[in-house]
Structure 1
Amino acid sequence: MIKQQLSYKQQQKFSPQQIQQTKLLELTTLEVENRINEELEENPVLEEIPEPDEYGLQIERLNKSDTFLGGSLREDNVHSYKFQQNGSLNRWEMVYAEPESFHEYLLNQLKLKELSEEEIKIGQYIIGNMDDNGYIRQSFQTLSDDISFQYGHDVSISEIKKVLESIQGLDPPGIGAGDLQECLLLQLRRKKITPIRCLVIDILEKHFAIFAKKHYDSLCKIYNISKENLKDVIREVALLNPKPGNICESSMESKLAHIIPDFIVEIIDGKLIFTMAKRNMPTLKVNEGYSEILSNNVGNKSLKKREVVAFVKKKINSAQWFIDAIKQRNTTLYNTMLAIIELQQDFFLTGEEQALKPMKLKDVSQLCGYDISTVSRATINKYIQSDWGIYPLRFFFSEAMINEEGEEISTREIKAILKFFIKTEDKKNPFTDDVLANLLKKKGYNIARRTVAKYREQLNIPVSRLRKGVG
């Protein structure tokens, strides 16, 4: 029996324009310049307004005593841009060193694989979402949704799994794993098979939790092996790398690349001057000649003329949308950066890491009125030049902890103090993590030893026995 039934389903659909607008937001200033030049070549209706010199966008003056937001930071309250002439291009370009990053190292290998252009794009997205240790923390469904949104068409989980399998075949072994168990197994399966390695693989596959908790007696009973055999298992695992992403140094201090800041914050007469880099980004408009062609031929019944009108109309709409999208990008970046400066103005005035306040994407989102995902995209691969150096915007985001007085403090503040303790320690008798935890408690930071160990690792500082006699 055939029955008709009505059902309601709510779906969120993104137009091609919305997807393109999102992509523009993620681009750096230099990438937007290239994107504009491409659009100028492809669309004859789009025209550049010539400018004799390079300009910066002076947007807002801030100081400690000013309430500089002037109310809301929402789009309808954006201050009008004021142009000021800058000197040479060197104002926007600063150099610092970095060898090939971990992600670049993987991307260069991926391009040598026999993959389609579509699969390379998927691979680039997956690699770009790896954490510093080389892990993929997102679920396949999340990756599928994000990649589908990024490229404007559905990308199935099976496609992602196929590409991820290729990535897991790259060097170093273990990258692309979802957790430690998978990471260790990926490395073992790349090694020459021996009886002991077969045993290790079986233990990690079937009894990883028991092994991780060091219930070695239980493992001896399960596999009917001696403690000597188990020592061989432990030794084999100890030779594996739990953090394969750490093979490439990617710290800011060691970069060897030209970084072009997207924003500049300077202290002038005790005030913060916030400037958006404009560099060679041209001002755009719709060519008036094409607008006249359109207005003169509207209503013409000739087939050829109708085709011309349709073509010109399409190009004018595309050009106008692109101009609006660039303006919207600048507005979003402006509001987002202004919110970050308000939240972190103590740091921009002093340059001291201890002055950094705990800040999450949600905090910036609430202040500037944008969705968290919009703020996240606006801060990707963006840099700000200050009197204290060049920083990626993600540098200003950190977790929060509570000190003895009940005040919320940034984990960066704790790391800075931890760094100072280790720098000034007696190298003949360096501080253990327990000692460091006690020293921090005396300073009012009540954190556990394991947390100290975690922060020390994040600072790339070895354990005390490896620091002995160094420095």
Structure 2
Amino acid sequence: MKLRVSSTQTTKQKFSSTLRGWLPILQANLDSLVETLEPFVQENPFISVKSGSETPDKHFEKKSFFSEVAKTSVSDTIEALTLDKKSLYQVLNEQVNPPLFPTEKSQQVAYEIIENINSEGYFEIAALSEIAKKLGIKVEEVEKIRQRFAYLEPLGIGALDLKETFLFQLQDLSLDNELYNMVEMLIINFETIESFSKEPLFHDALAIIKRFHNPPAIDFMEDEKEVIPDIFIYDLEGAIEVRLNDAYYPEVILDTEGLDENHSFVSQKIKDAKDLIDALEMRKATLYKIGLMIVEYQYDFFFGKAIKPMKLKDLADDLGRNPSTISRAIAGKYLSCSRGVIPLKQFFATALEEDISNSAIKEYMIELVKNESKIKPLSDIKLLELIEGKFNIKMVRRTITKYRQQFNIASSSERKKLYTLKF
């Protein structure tokens, strides 16, 4: 067997300062890439964007090799939205303007916050200090801007957790003071909500809470549909070939005919246009390299064997990139091969043991929660015990907590309250 590539591509080792601010281009799904480019087009009178082919390669049957995992994972089932509907991130970016964000600085912070909102609509708390360090400001300043997200659509977006997203949504309601205070009290004391059941306004307040959205980006989470892969893997008589879905990429067209390219405004816009084109090429080169490395690490998989756990950090080190950048590069992206259409994330399960990937651990955890007692949900400690017994391994509780949060599964106490609300 031999590995054959369709073309030679090189990857820049580091983002330029300009491209670092355009990570949404790397993060965007292939079918939402044109919409992601739209803000750049609006700011540059000399460029236009031509959509790529709307008929992706039909060489492979559009089946999901990991359909069962996709059905249970909130994060992995947030696929491309319909072509006539804006993405969550586009909706948020369009709202970053006065009066909520009146200064360039406040807008810059807001854009950074949006980049760290996950697909369920929650803000990653660890990013507060990262954003502050990156922009050279205090954490308190970042948090002050984040609090303004309470006034953005969808309601509750940018909250840290269930309680805060409900509090954000509460601010949008016009209620009399007594009812407002009761709803707020129930949210804040969600763990002991039953203790307020005899309060006069309890049922009215509970009815309002039931109308709140959770997760806040739920309206952007659609059922599975046919997805557009970024990468194609072909087996051509024993030789594996890696190709990008080039036909689907948009084309940036630069038109400067009749203009004085030495004029400062024109020359700057030309530079911006070339940077945008470079950003698209960098996106291609990064994903192409990822495809090559997947084939290198997972060669046997493409001939019928199981996936071997890969470390995201190893790939990041090899590409000379930050793991968070690679994580964005693979999020919501797919690879098409003879075994189906597979999320790139499935190839990067960190091994807990030599033959046990965290994908198996997560699947088992989800199954446990799915079948748990609605009266006495499983705590993280109990989940840990059951998982250790099942796989004969040693883990720590915080790992279970991390996995649970990745799948937007509430804590045992919160699940108990949610079960109570549901039934």
TM-score range, shorter chain: 0.5 to 0.7
8 Å contact 2:388–2:395 — kept in the other structure?
yes
Q: Deviations over 1:11-54 (max 9, x none)?
A: xxx96644477565445556667859969x9559x9x9xxxx99
Q: Is 1:261 matched up with 2:215?
A: no
Q: Is 1:415 matched up with 2:415?
A: no
Letter in 2 for 1:368: L
Runs of at least 5 residues in structure 1 that lack an aligned partner in the other structure: 1-13, 55-87, 149-153, 217-226, 294-306
8 Å contact 1:358–1:411 — kept in the other structure?
no
> What is the alpha-carbon distance in structure 2 between the residues aligned to residue 174 and residue 346 of structure 1?
45
> What is the alpha-carbon distance in structure 2 between the residues aligned to residue 270 and residue 281 of structure 1?
28
Which residue of 239, 244, 250 maps to 2:214?
Answer: 244
Q: CA deviation at 1:248?
A: 2.0
> What is the alpha-carbon distance in structure 2 between the residues aligned to residue 457 and residue 368 of structure 1?
25
> What is the alpha-carbon distance in structure 1 between the residues aligned to residue 251 and residue 94 of structure 2?
39
Letter in 1 for 2:122: Y
Q: CA deviation at 1:279?
A: 0.4
> What is the alpha-carbon distance in structure 2 between the residues aligned to residue 275 and residue 165 of structure 1?
44
Q: Is 1:131 matched up with 2:126?
A: no
Say what the alpha-carbon RMSD is for the aligned residues.
Answer: 6.4
Runs of at least 5 residues in structure 2 that lack an aligned partner in the other structure: 1-14, 64-78
Which residue of 130, 138, 145 maps to 1:142?
Answer: 130
> What is the alpha-carbon distance in structure 1 between the residues aligned to residue 267 and residue 90 of structure 2?
42
Q: Is 1:363 matched up with 2:314?
A: yes
Letter in 2 for 1:342: E
Cα 1:421/1:408, change in 2 over 3 Å: same
**2:58: which partner in 1?**
91
Cα 1:201/1:89, change in 2 over 3 Å: closer
> What is the alpha-carbon distance in structure 2 between the residues aligned to residue 171 and residue 38 of structure 1?
24
Q: Is 1:342 matched up with 2:293?
A: no
Secondary structure of the residue aligned to 1:310 is coil
> What is the alpha-carbon distance in structure 1 between the residues aligned to residue 46 and residue 86 of structure 2?
36
Q: Is 1:390 matched up with 2:378?
A: no
Q: Deviations over 1:184-232 (max 9, x none)?
A: 655676675449956974995xxx8xx97x8x9xxxxxxxxxx966986
Secondary structure of the residue aligned to 2:245 is strand
Secondary structure of the residue aligned to 1:390 is strand
Q: How many residues align?
A: 363
8 Å contact 1:333–1:378 — kept in the other structure?
yes
Secondary structure of the residue aligned to 2:341 is strand
Secondary structure of the residue aligned to 2:262 is helix
Q: CA deviation at 1:366?
A: 1.9
Is the deviation greater in 19-28 or in 263-272? 19-28
Q: CA deviation at 1:411?
A: 1.6
8 Å contact 2:120–2:218 — kept in the other structure?
no
Q: CA deviation at 1:122?
A: 6.1
Q: CA deviation at 1:367?
A: 2.7
Q: Superposed, which structure 2 residues align to 1:290-309 within 5 Å? A: none
Which residue of 262, 268, 273 maps to 2:241?
Answer: 273
Q: Deviations over 1:51-97 (max 9, x none)?
A: xx99xxxxxxxxxxxxxxxxxxxxxxxxxxxxxxxxx7443896988
Q: CA deviation at 1:331?
A: 2.9
Q: Is 1:375 matched up with 2:329?
A: no
> What is the alpha-carbon distance in structure 2 between the residues aligned to residue 180 and residue 284 of structure 1?
41
Secondary structure of the residue aligned to 1:244 is coil
> What is the alpha-carbon distance in structure 2 between the residues aligned to residue 283 and residue 109 of structure 1?
23
Secondary structure of the residue aligned to 1:384 is strand
Q: Which protein has the larger Cα radius of gyration, Structure 1 or Structure 2?
A: 1
Q: Percent identity?
A: 21
Is the deviation greater in 317-326 or in 161-170? 317-326
Q: Superposed, which structure 2 residues align to 1:284-323 within 5 Å? A: 310-311=262-263, 314=267, 318=271
**1:401: which partner in 2?**
352
> What is the alpha-carbon distance in structure 2 between the residues aligned to residue 232 and residue 102 of structure 1?
41
Letter in 2 for 1:142: E
> What is the alpha-carbon distance in structure 1 between the residues aligned to residue 300 and residue 198 of structure 2?
53
Secondary structure of the residue aligned to 2:311 is coil
Letter in 2 for 1:379: I
**1:79: which partner in 2?**
none
Is the deviation greater in 19-28 or in 375-384? 19-28
> What is the alpha-carbon distance in structure 1 between the residues aligned to residue 318 and residue 108 of structure 2?
34
Larger RCO: 1 or 2 (CA < 8 Å, sep 6+): 2
> What is the alpha-carbon distance in structure 2 between the residues aligned to residue 23 and residue 453 of structure 1?
25
Q: CA deviation at 1:357?
A: 1.0
Q: CA deviation at 1:105?
A: 11
Q: CA deviation at 1:415?
A: 3.3
Q: CA deviation at 1:363?
A: 1.9
**1:444: which partner in 2?**
392
